[in-house]
Amino acid sequence: MAKYREGSIYYETNRGKWHASVADPQGHRTHKRFDTEAEANAWRLSMAAKYIKGNYVAKSDMTLGTWILQYLSVFAKSKVREKTFLNYANTAAHINETLADVELQKLSPIAVQSYINNSDMTDGMKDRLVKLLCRASKKAIATGLIEKDFMAGVEVLKPEPKEVEIFSPEELNIIMETIDSDARLRRHHLLISVAIASGCRIGEILALTPQDLVGDAIKINKSLVEVNGVAKLQPPKTKAGYRRIPLPKSIMAELYQAAYALKDEEIIRNAKGNPCLTTNIDKTWKRILKKAGIPYRKFHCLRHTHASMLLAAGVPILEVAKRLGHSRPSHTLNLYGHAIPGYDSQMPSLVEKVFNVESCNRKDILAVSCPVLPSTTERS
């Protein structure tokens, strides 16, 4: 029989099984039965080794639901923006009691995958939930709550990326004419003009103050977001978000005029003189498009329109990415590459020019594609 501190094994005659037990560092004994003495002894030694190395996971009846709440409040909340945290909480709310009541240490990838497969959530929500659970599982391992990743191998079909929607130049003209012809909508002229001419996000425009007007350009260094019905300022997510955007003289003149006599207040405000909420802007935007007789597209599509028009005009992709505040030009290319004029039609001529195909005869091409190996007297 093994020493006490190394656990013990013995044969249970009445069960016909080998019984093994080991005490953890807290003095709690773990038991398990096996068919053979060798299996029992191997398990005892492996458990004792875990205790010695300090990587033993103590038994816990904590459920997934309880852990998700702890993970969000203790680890996630301090690292993400308030609005992002609320999105995490909304995603976690899609875990019902079927999964939330399962003990964390008993949770398996199969159980999670089955829950995802049988759920009526949208593909987008499934993708967000899987990402949240993956982060929570890794943190549970790191904090010693579980040994194995309960998200290992869990898959979800990523939602198909939506095609970027833009407005035509004719539609933009109709939108501006509709705004200018309606006394109630006319006060939104500056907001829409800046959005079309700058490609800024709506929150970046709503956060502009007189201090952000510099010569012929606007400085983007913050964004106004809506959190639970309250307008709040926050800095850009990346360094690329801090940028200077030159605008047409006429629009800059409107901005300077609107900023006159203001101090630190936002230039674009609602009818009561308070910061604009994005939900209210969305409602007004729908009303503008309906009156203009233009099919609905999100306000953010003005940004897509701006980028697509710049690329169609031949502006380099790096300059467009910089203007939009993208940290990776590849992201800009993925979104708006279709707008680069004549890209596919120019490709054959570019290939001919680069590889000088026309000057190569058929014999030369064959020589390159099917090289003749040197003869050898030895067999390989």
How does pLDDT run along the chain (380 residues), one tens digit per residue? 444 457 888 899 899 999 988 877 767 788 889 999 888 888 888 777 776 666 666 778 899 999 999 999 999 999 999 999 999 999 999 999 999 999 999 999 999 999 999 999 998 899 999 999 999 999 999 888 898 899 999 998 777 778 889 999 999 999 999 999 999 999 999 999 999 999 999 999 999 999 999 999 999 999 999 988 899 999 998 999 999 999 999 999 999 999 988 888 999 998 888 899 999 999 999 999 999 999 999 999 999 999 999 998 889 999 999 999 999 999 998 888 877 666 556 556 655 555 654 554 545 434 444 444 444 444 43
- Tell me the C-alpha distance between 380 and 365, whole Å: 28
Q: What is the pLDDT of residue 28?
A: 76
Burial class (CB in 10 A: 0-12, 13-18, 19+), 260: exposed
Q: Which residue has the tokens 């907001």?
A: 191
- Tell me the C-alpha distance between 380 and 374, whole Å: 13
Write out the two tokens for 236. Answer: 């850009």
**240 closest CA partner among 320, 298, 302:** 320
Residue 192 host element (H or E): helix 189-198
Q: What is the pLDDT of residue 371?
A: 42
Q: What is the pLDDT of residue 92?
A: 95
**291 closest CA partner among 141, 179, 190:** 179
- Please report the beta strands in 88-222, taking only residues with DSSP state E, as ranges in sequence order: 213-214, 217-220
CA distances from 200 to 24, 161, 207, 280, 379 (A): 59, 21, 11, 18, 69
Q: What is the pLDDT of residue 380?
A: 39
For residue 188, give the DSSP letter. Answer: G
For residue 5, give the DSSP letter. Answer: G
Q: What is the pLDDT of residue 71?
A: 95
Write out the two tokens for 50. Answer: 């875990």
Q: How many CB atoms lie within 10 A of CB 210?
A: 17
Q: Are 132 and 154 in contact (CB under 8 A)?
A: no
**pTM of this prediction exceeds 0.75:** no
- Tell me the C-alpha distance between 232 and 224, whole Å: 5
Q: Are 275 and 231 in contact (CB under 8 A)?
A: yes
- Tell me the C-alpha distance between 277 and 262, whole Å: 20
